[in-house]
Each structure stands twice: as C-alpha cells, then as structure tokens.
Amino acid sequence: MDNTGSRKFDFFLKGSNGKAVLLIHGITGTPSEMNYLGKSLHKAGFSVVCNTLPKHCRSLGELRRVTWQEIACACVKDLEGLKNEYSEVSVGGLSMGALMAVHLAYKYPHLVSRIIALAPTIFYDGWAVPKRKILMDILWYVPFIRNRFDIRESWPYGLKNELLRAGMERFYRNAKASVNDGRVAIFGSPFFPMSCLYQHHLLAKIVKQELSGVRAPILIIHAKDDDMTSFKNAQYVYERIGSPDKSLIMLDDSYHMITIDKQKSKVAEEVLKFLNKPNNN
C-alpha cells in the first residue's frame, strides 16, 4: 500500500555538531508533535530524525493492527542508520515513545548515548482518564473486543494551551472512524484503538522489567498536572532506572503533550542542556 501521504511529516534535519537525536512520537500520534523540539535541536547543531511509526497516520483499520514489536523494529532501523553516520546518538520519545527510548537503550546500549523520556507512560492514571478505564484493563485481554473497539479522544486532548486545544477539538469532535482523513498526519488519530492500548500495556510490562538494567544517562520531563498519566509515572521510571546519571524535571503549566503545549520552549531548553553537558559515564 502506498503510504507516501502518511509520511509527509517525517523529518530529517542535518546538523553541524556531529551528534544525532532520534525522536519517537507517541502511539496513535504523528511526527508533527515532535516538530518544535526537532527544530530547536537542529538549530543548536544536532542532526534530528523523526519518522512516522508503522501503520500510523493512515486508516484506523491499519492502526488497530500495529504491534509494539513493529514499532521497535522501525525505531531500531532508524537508530542503526544514524549510528552508521554519527558516533553519538541520543534517543528521545513522548509517552509510549519515551518507553521505547528506554527499551532501545536497554537492548542496544552500544547504540544509545543518552535517553530523553518525555511524559513516560507506564500507567494511564491521569485526572482526565475515564473511570471506566478499569474495565478496559480487563477487556483488552479478549482479542475479539480489543480488535473492534476504539476510544474517541476527549477533552482536554493532552493540552493546556487553550488556542491549540480548540483547533484540535474542532477536528476530533467531527472526525468519523470510517473516514481516512488526511489531517490525521497533523493532529494524530482522533480515536485510540483498544488494541493500541493493549500494545502499549505489553511494552510497559517489558520496560518495567528492563529499567534496572539501563545505564545510559537519562532526562525525564513530566507535567505535574498531566491529564493522561500522573507524575507518578515519571517518579516510577526515575526511582527504578539503573542509570547513574539521571534527572527528573516537573513542569507546572502543561498537560500530557509537553512537546507542543505551553512549556514546549522549556522542554527544548532542558533537553539541550542535557545533551550538551559532559557525559560522566
């Protein structure tokens, strides 16, 4: 199937300092959510890659079929490609992408120099998550159910920025599951397949087991008022990660989508400070 349209927001920004960063967007998301951070890193001299994850930014039917292993394979391919050209490659991700960055650092320590974990999502326990989520934790184990049901994204859509949220809401509220709208490549999927939640859950279980074995320096940034995943997620990763060099930063004016929300410039600033500091390992 031709997926040219779904990949039009992929980006590779060639830098000047000989170092590279692989950015991984969230599950059901899009590279556009990493655009501001990518441009900020590039402006500071880094080469930056962010590609559309497998089966993303196309039809909902395709998105339902994605597996965390497919996503991992695509990220490994990007990582290896960068490592062939750059001696130092850092990996950063948002939400599920943050977990994937940790997973890559565990599996391929010789490839990953540093980890940037943005709103790492181990549990969906934010203040805006519906109480019926507890039922999903049971139902997603039934293949017939998890492969057929989707959850419409709901207010506040991970955004504290009211202007940005309003634009997102106009698209999300009118979206139809049966229509393959090209704007998904900009805004991400307006529906969260239960099957994707399940794949995220499977990856989280694996990463929880791997945390103590990770040694790469890590920066964790999480919003205090994250609507989807509480700050406990960041604390969980920070307390259990094996990295001797680790930092945890709390944001006070953002929700889940910290790479595009009100403090996106602070996120970029902290990431740059982290990437430019001497490696003590």
What is the rounded CA–CA span in Å between residue 69 and residue 246? 27
Residue 191 lies in a domain: yes
Domain of 68?
5-276
Considering its fold, how many domains does the chain have in total?
1
pLDDT at residue 117, as a whole number = 98
pLDDT at residue 129, as a whole number = 87
Cite the DSSP H helix spans in 140-256: 143-146, 162-174, 184-187, 194-210, 232-240
**Which residues have a Cβ under 8 Å from the Cβ of 119 and sit 6 or more positions away?**
94, 95, 98, 221, 222, 223, 226, 228, 229, 233, 234, 256, 257, 258
pLDDT at residue 4, as a whole number = 45
Q: What Rg, from alpha-carbon coordinates, does the chain have?
A: 17
Which position has the token pair 């492969």? Answer: 147
Pick the range with the lowest mean pLDDT from 131-140, 150-159, 168-177, 257-266: 131-140
Q: Give the burial class of 205: count Cβ atoms within 10 A of its Cβ; 0-12 exposed, 13-18 middle, 19 or more buried.
A: exposed
Q: What is the CATH number of the domain that holds 20?
A: 3.40.50.1820
Residue 225 lies in a domain: yes
Residue 281 lies in a domain: no
Pick the residue with more confidence: 158 or 59?
158
How confident is the model over 163-220, as pLDDT tens digits?
999 988 888 777 766 546 667 767 788 888 889 989 999 999 999 999 999 999 999 9
Residue 219 lies in a domain: yes
Confidence of residue 5 (pLDDT cuts 50, 70, 90): very low
Distances (CA, A) of 55 to 25, 41, 92, 184: 13, 27, 20, 12
pLDDT at residue 139, as a whole number = 72
Q: What is the mean pLDDT of residues 95-110?
A: 98
Confidence of residue 60 (pLDDT cuts 50, 70, 90): confident
pLDDT at residue 17, as a whole number = 97
pLDDT at residue 249, as a whole number = 98
Strands (E) located in the chain: 11-13, 19-24, 47-50, 88-94, 114-118, 150-152, 191-193, 218-223, 246-251
Q: What is the mean pLDDT of residues 251-275?
A: 98
Residue 251 lies in a domain: yes
DSSP conformation class of 279: P
